[in-house]
Structure 1
Amino acid sequence: MIRPVAFLSFFFSFAAGAAAQVVSPFETDRPPVAPNKVDELVLATLEKRGITPANPCSDEVFVRRVYFDVIGTLPGPEEVVAFLDSSRPEKRAALIEALLAREEFADYWSLKWCDILRVKSEFPINLWPNAVQAYHRWIHDALRGNMPYDRFARELLTSSGSNFRVPQVNFYRAVQGREPSAIAAAVALTFMGTRIESWRQERRAGMEAIFSRIAFKQTAEWKEEIVLLDPAKMGPLETILPDGSRLVVPGGEDPRKAFADWLITPENERFSANIVNRIWSWLLGRGIVHEPDDIRPDNPPANPELLAFLERELAEHGYDTKHIYRLILNSRTYQQSSIPRSDDPAVETLFACYPVRQLEAEVLVDALCQLTGASIEYSSPIPEPYTYIPGTNRTITLADGSITNSYLELFGRPARDTGLESERKSATTDAQRLFMLNSSIVQNGIAKSPLLKRLARTSGRNPRRFVTMLYLSILSRKPTAGELEIAEAYAGEKGRDPGEAAVDLAWALVNTKEFLYRH
């Protein structure tokens, strides 16, 4: 679709007008929350460095941010208005609690965990589609039921049995390689946030010995496999743990259980540091240790006191990860603006502002489908995949990483080959920009959007109301006076078709960084 010169003039005027109004809709001078212990530790570090933290974000920014960060979902206009109109002093905390309790919390965080645990069908090795579905269901149920993280890890590490009937054993079957070195590397990466390649040889060998007794046995059922301990290798074992201490396992006992007993204790900071650092990274764009899965002595945390505090909180609250979410989400640090007030290069490293970053592929596709009412098709290179996905299902609910489409791949969805956080690509590319600007899929979806038709019907002949509701639907805020003026001037031009003007405005909004990015 070739857009008229008048529209292009409007589009660039709109962008300039929005840029001129940055402060008003994005931040506030009113402190929305009292600083908590997280903030004390962050602010102490900033003060030593002489960095001024960003102002608190506005309610408009907060409601959009927390929906995306907690449930991976664009808030509807009614939800936005209800939050903005509320005069409750604790409305932010109340919204956080409501979102943590929603089904989409488990949907979205299952997506994150399936990336780490490499959940996808592969042929002719590793996971088969029905094993993928069972594994994803177990992960989803664990998150929905808020399974304590120590139990979550222990069940995965010590599991044995059928890959179809004991979903946890798929942790071992999803590893790229069945040799002890590959399994040990996956365990270290997943539960300790470290790359085993950087360890001393004796400690790598010790870790490999712990998992050297794992065996795999096929059954008469197609693609079923039993994960078990090799009976021929069940003699006594003496080996070295990752901290250099010695582990002695009597004959006939499972060394994985002894390893789990060593790993999952309040005294072992490797275990707690890994998960609290990951959660911090997921919510604030980078880990206290960065990269979040590269914890090592020569890669120190940006704020050691903060990391130690979160470790203690996790252990003292029974490894309840939602407690960590609450601490972070209710902090001033999380609720600050993305507009820095310092030009110090350590602003983002020390968490002096909220980091702007692109929405994940699945979240962006779901947001576009929500706005356009469209559904998308998927494909898989794997025989017998579960590729029939009802149109009402959201992309964040996809269990199988092999089920994909060109849009998800374009916007950086990971292949789930390595379990590394960096496998998901977050950098914006020219191809992504061109897709949003020129794709007939985006343009036709907007033109046929039931949302636009409903807004036009409910707004009557009031263009100001229509523009306001469109902003609330797409950007989760009302337009500024300048934006209203620009939009009304364009829509009111002589001979301008109202329907065309509405489509043009919606197209302009979904192409803004404000829509495409967390901020």
Structure 2
Amino acid sequence: MFQQNMRVYVSLLVVFLCPAFAPQTARANSSTDSAAPLVAKKPTLPVARRISPLIDELIQSGMQDYAKVASPVCSDSEFVRRVYLDLTGRIPTVAQTRAFLNDTSADKRAVLVDQLLNSPEYARHLSQRLDVMLMERLRKKYINVTDWEEFLRESVAENKPLDQLVREIMSADGADPKQQAAARFFLARDGDVNELTRDISRIFLGADLTCAQCHDHPEVADWKQDHYYGISAFLVRSFVFTDKKKKQTVFAEKAEGEVKFESVFEVRDKTSKGPETTLPVVFNGPKVAEPAFKKGEEYKVKPAKDVRPVPKYSRRAQLGDALTSSNNKRFARTMANRLWALVMGRGIVHPLDADHADNPPSHPKLLDLLTEELIAGNYDLKWYLRELVLSKTYQRSSTNELFASKSAQELADAQFTHAILKPLTPEQFSRSVLEATGQAELYRNSLKQKLSEATLRKNLVGYERQFVSLFGGLPGEPVEGFETTADQSLYLSNNGAIQGILSPRSGNTADRVLKIPADQPALIAEELYLSVLNRRPEATETKEVAELLSGKTGKERSEMVSDLIWALMMSSEFRFNH
């Protein structure tokens, strides 16, 4: 009963310990401490064209008096937390935080970025973000989800060009065991032509063409009905086929079949000339012609009962090339914008699937630059993300003085005058909770010589799945904003697994804090705040910690330390990347 009461008490005190992390109250931390430099290898990534200065220049040119209203460059504590979350999907350990804050090297931010981009954790985290972008947390169907996740992870680990990755996904039918995992994009959607057309246009072309299926889009003049069916024409001959003998499901294809469409408005007004058809085409690009075959010679394997047909010519096989062709810059533009939003918190075109003339980019020249450079850089994800996070635009503090109203905040967000607050994804939240409590470190120590990113994840993935099930939203509708439900609150407050990792265990956060002498409250508060929030506490926060722990011994002191860790993790400051 005591701990339950204290949990409520501490949750109320969290307002004082770590104020709700809104921009108008965000603190600007200083980092003047000096100690032994962080031991880190120098950048090993290829030094390609540096565009981060150009990014800053074009952002600043987009707003009069930008330099006067923009937030300053963030503190080291803000940066180290932010970049770990964005590039590895977790907060840094207390040791990593201390090492970075104590490092006096002028280039330590660039060194850290290169270390993280070269880490196996980066490959895991970015592949998870790509997974959510491509699959929107759709449930398992036909393809083993673990195989799909590993396909993405390996692709990121080898820094496979993004356009190549998309071509592989668009060409996969699942027949070849080596390419089976990549077919999940089609098979998880049951090969539904309309669903695939909608998702391909949204994800890869920045255009939600859903309302262009029955007529030209009623609200977006740029989006036509033939744009929808141009993409649909690549897919209209494909279907899900299950080989009963092999017990294998693939995305098969016929040699014949055309899209047919007419506007419902024209049908209603009796002005329709009858159904139209079109060859496959991506927006206003060249139409993809196909070879002609004599009747009866269209197939390598002719259709038959329980037999998968194989046409001599595959329309769908042309889709990946058409999407990523140099003739179609919408793909590069959309990917440049999506990756920008991934780390900056908002797209240059926003919403991300609303790229049209009536919703122009906030910084047109910048988006043009990023598009051209992504193409020129052969869709190198490491290089592109490195340039983004080393820009001053990315490194702005989240503090901003412009937020007198919600509309003023939206304007400032669109101008990137500050770091936009981003709620942690379920994966980030789970990993960060495990780092903050020291549970991840316990697993690292227990694995000893067997420690690797893969073996550590096996120990942590159970926690991750629980967080995803609670915080990930409905399949096909992943959560974008931040809103806590009753189930989420109860889980975080009462779940046995969460309570267990808060309690002192040899080497975890509670244990380290309890080993600090009670007469050194400043060191206690520092250990708490560096472990959970990756910053040193302010004087008022140190005082609050000292008062809460004053006079407490034994079990009472242990419970209070656990409650303090829990309270810091439940704060808005922890739940957001800022």
TM-score w.r.t. length of structure 1? 0.83
Per the alignment, do residues 11 and 116 of structure 1 end up closer, same or farther by CA in structure 2, a change over 3 Å counting?
A: closer
d(CA) in 2 for partners of 1:101 and 1:219? 41
Q: Which residue of 1 aligns with 2:445?
A: none
Residue 365 of structure 1, CA deviation: 1.9
Number of aligned pairs?
485
Q: Is the 8 A contact 2:393 2:416 kept in 1?
A: yes
Q: For 2:90 and 2:492, how far apart are their aligned partners in 1? A: 22
| Residues 1:27 and 1:272: Cα distance change in structure 2 (over 3 Å) | farther
Residue 457 of structure 2 is aligned to residue 394 of structure 1: no
Q: Which residue of 2 aligns with 1:353?
A: 418
CA deviation map 1:298-348 (0-9, x unaligned): 222111111111111111111112221011100000000001133444100
Task: Point out the structure with max Rg over C-alpha.
Answer: 2
Quick check: 1:454 aligned with 2:495?
no
Is the alpha carbon distance of 1:68 and 1:449 closer, same or farther for their aligned partners in structure 2, counting shifts above 3 Å?
Answer: farther
1:23-422 → structure 2 map (5 Å cutoff): 23-25=27-29, 36-47=53-64, 52-118=69-135, 122=139, 126-128=141-143, 131-162=144-175, 164-166=177-179, 167-175=181-189, 177-197=190-210, 198=212, 199-220=223-244, 223-231=247-255, 238-243=279-284, 245-251=286-292, 252-343=312-403, 344-345=408-409, 346-372=411-437, 392-395=458-461, 404-405=465-466, 407-411=467-471, 413-417=472-476
* CA distances 1:152-195 after superposition (whole Å, capped 9, x unpaired): 111111223427542222221122x4243333223222321221
CA distance in 1, matches of 2:517, 2:185: 56
Q: Structure 1, residues 104-141: CA drift from partner, whole Å, max 9, x if none?
A: 11111221122233276757xx434xx32222211111
CA distance in 2, matches of 1:298, 1:25: 40
Contact 2:173–2:252 under 8 Å retained in 1:
yes
2:494 is matched with which residue: 439, 444, 449? 439
Q: Using a 3 Å threshold, how does the CA distance of structure 1 residues 452 and 49 change in structure 2: closer, same or farther?
A: closer
Contact between 2:206 and 2:354, CA under 8 Å: does it hold in 1?
yes
Find the counterpart in structure 1 of residue 481 from structure 2.
Answer: 426
2:173 partner letter? S
> Which range is displaced more, 51-60 or 443-452?
443-452
Select 1:498's aligned residue among 546, 557, 562: 557
Structure 2 residue ranges without an equivalent (≥5): 33-49, 213-222, 259-276, 293-311, 441-454
Q: Deviations over 1:180-230 (max 9, x none)?
A: 333322322232122122432223222211212223332245751233332
Q: Name the % identity.
A: 24
Say if 1:368 and 1:18 are closer, same or farther in 2 by CA, change over 3 A.
Answer: closer
Report the counterpart of residue 382 of structure 1 in structure 2.
none
In 2, Cα distance between the equivalents of 1:433 and 1:262? 43
Alpha carbons of 1:463 and 1:194: their partners in 2 closer, same or farther (altered >3 Å)?
same
3-state SS in 2 of match to 1:216: strand
Separation (CA, whole Å) in 1 of partners of 2:117 and 2:393: 19
Cα distance 1:473–1:331, how it changes in 2: closer, same or farther (>3 A)? Answer: same
Distance across 1 between alignment mates of 2:105 and 2:31:
19
- Contact kept in structure 2, 1:372 and 1:449, CA below 8 Å: no
Aligned equivalents of 1:361, 1:264: Cα separation in 2 = 31
1:274-318 deviations in whole A, cap 9, x for unaligned? 111111111111111111233233222111111111111111111
Q: 1:469 to 1:242 in 2, by over 3 A?
A: same
How has the CA–CA distance of structure 1 residues 17 and 105 changed in structure 2, closer, same or farther, with 3 Å as cutoff? closer
**Alpha-carbon deviation of 1:500?**
3.2
The answer on 1:14 being equivalent to 2:79 is: no
Q: Can you give the 5+ residue segments of structure 1 that lack an aligned partner in the other structure? A: 376-388, 399-403
Question: Matches of 2:389 and 2:244 in 1, distance apart?
Answer: 49
Deviation at 1:357, TM superposition (A): 2.5
Deviation of 1:436 (Å): 7.4
Alignment check: 8 A CA contact 2:437 2:510 kept? no
User: d(CA) in 2 for partners of 1:494 and 1:179?
Assistant: 63
Give the counterpart letter for 1:321 in structure 2.
Answer: L
Match of 1:452, as an amino acid?
T
Q: Check the 8 A contact 2:72/2:397 in 1, yes or no.
A: yes
Say if 1:432 and 1:359 are closer, same or farther in 2 by CA, change over 3 A: farther
Q: 1:192 to 1:473 in 2, by over 3 A?
A: same
How far apart, CA to CA, are the structure 2 residues paired with 1:327 and 1:457? 42
The answer to whether the 8 A contact 2:510-2:562 is kept is no
SS in 1 for 2:200: helix
CA distance in 2, matches of 1:17, 1:121: 33
Distance 1:54 1:27, change over 3 A: farther
Distance 1:244 1:314, change over 3 A: closer
The CA deviation at 1:50 is 8.6
Compared with structure 1, are the counterparts of its residues 485 and 157 closer, same or farther at alpha carbon in structure 2 (3 Å cutoff)? same
Aligned to 1:378: none
Corresponding residue SS for 1:3: helix
Q: What is the TM-score with the length of structure 2 in the denominator?
A: 0.75
RMSD: 3.5
| 1:248-284 deviation line (CA, Å, top 9, x unaligned) | 2223433334443333234422010111111111111
Query: Contact between 1:111 and 1:397, CA under 8 Å: does it hold in 2?
Result: no
* Distance change >3 Å, CA 247–CA 288, structure 1 → 2: same
The question of whether the paired residues in 2 share the 8 Å contact of 1:108 and 1:397 is answered with no
Report SS of the residue matched to 2:284: coil
List aligned pairs for 1:457-476, cutoff 5 A.
458-461=515-518, 462-476=520-534
**Closer, same or farther in 2 for the Cα pair 1:189/1:482, shift >3 Å?**
same
